[in-house]
Structure 1
């Protein structure tokens, strides 16, 4: 059977202005949208109609990860220099995933396709969240190890520049991941469908 196609995206929101906190805060939440359908073709149409919409393009996707980074930086002036005393990066990720409402009324082959597809969608979006966590940690470490400046105004400017550079690298990393995943989608789905079909045949 022809695998259901799907598109994915990460919605990247830039780092916001700082205010102090004691420790890193990483939060993850989920929401779901319902899809109907009884065949692979109907599932594809339902995902295209009801999936989360990306504001930049206006297109809908089978899943999405909204990423929001915030920050807190405190400075310490000493004599003729100023350094970063403490930097905390806050990260919120919100994953939007599909939920199939017609599973109990669909045939075995369609259930197999859905289980394979929905598992891949969730894995993909979880990976977006993990990439964000990795870059949040990199940003925090980078800010804490910045070289002192002659005054805190210059130090703040250096923090802003470093923040922008790392946020841009984060966005590029997310986009790179999407490109790699899109290229390998058909091959990945075919492999997983064969594996799950064999599991069903063996009673797994």
Structure 2
């Protein structure tokens, strides 16, 4: 899968989009063997809603604001704005200098693959924000501004849900990064 670029600012078709790069958060793990590192990530890694822990995690949040212009019963969006924020959580190996060089090399490959996997999750947030930006350009209402506001919020929630589902499917398709070599 091609990762979408992590864009910081786009101005396209009169819709402002502020895309922050994800914030990287690290949790400390200790050990000098792959078994110790694996155990540390299984006990300290970020947990999903069921309590299952993984070596890494990405989350994203897309929000939007807008203004409108009323012309009788007709209402148009005049300044829609889409924002994206996200966090990627990864392990930080504290005992690296005490481990053998072969394990250090495997760790480097693992961490690089895990980072790519988690950035792949964030890319769904970028795609959702881009889709909102594209869709908001054409939203209008002939039933007044209250109807426009309802439509914008309905459309926004539907797009977010669609990309959240794609994000969940990404883990299924990649076996939580295993098919991308995110394994120690």
| TM-score of the pair, normalised by structure 1 | 0.76
Query: Which runs of 4 or more aligned residues in structure 1 lie more than 3 Å from their structure 2 counterparts after TM superposition?
Result: none
Aligned to 1:189: 181
Alpha carbons 2:62, 2:128 under 8 Å: kept: no
Aligned residues: 169
Distance in 2 of aligned mates of 1:97 and 1:65 = 9
Residue 124 in 1 paired to residue 117 in 2? yes
Q: Max radius of gyration: which structure?
A: 1
Distance in 1 of aligned mates of 2:166 and 2:36 = 33
**TM-align CA RMSD:** 2.1
Residue 53 in 1 paired to residue 47 in 2? yes
Q: Counterparts of 1:94-173 in structure 2 under 5 Å?
A: 94-173=87-166
| TM-score of the pair, normalised by structure 2 | 0.83
Bigger mean CA offset, 62-71 vs 141-150: 141-150
Aligned to 2:60: 67
Gaps of 5+ in 2: 1-14
Q: Quick check: which one's helix share is greater? A: 1
Residue 41 in 1 paired to residue 35 in 2? yes
Distance in 1 of aligned mates of 2:90 and 2:137 = 35
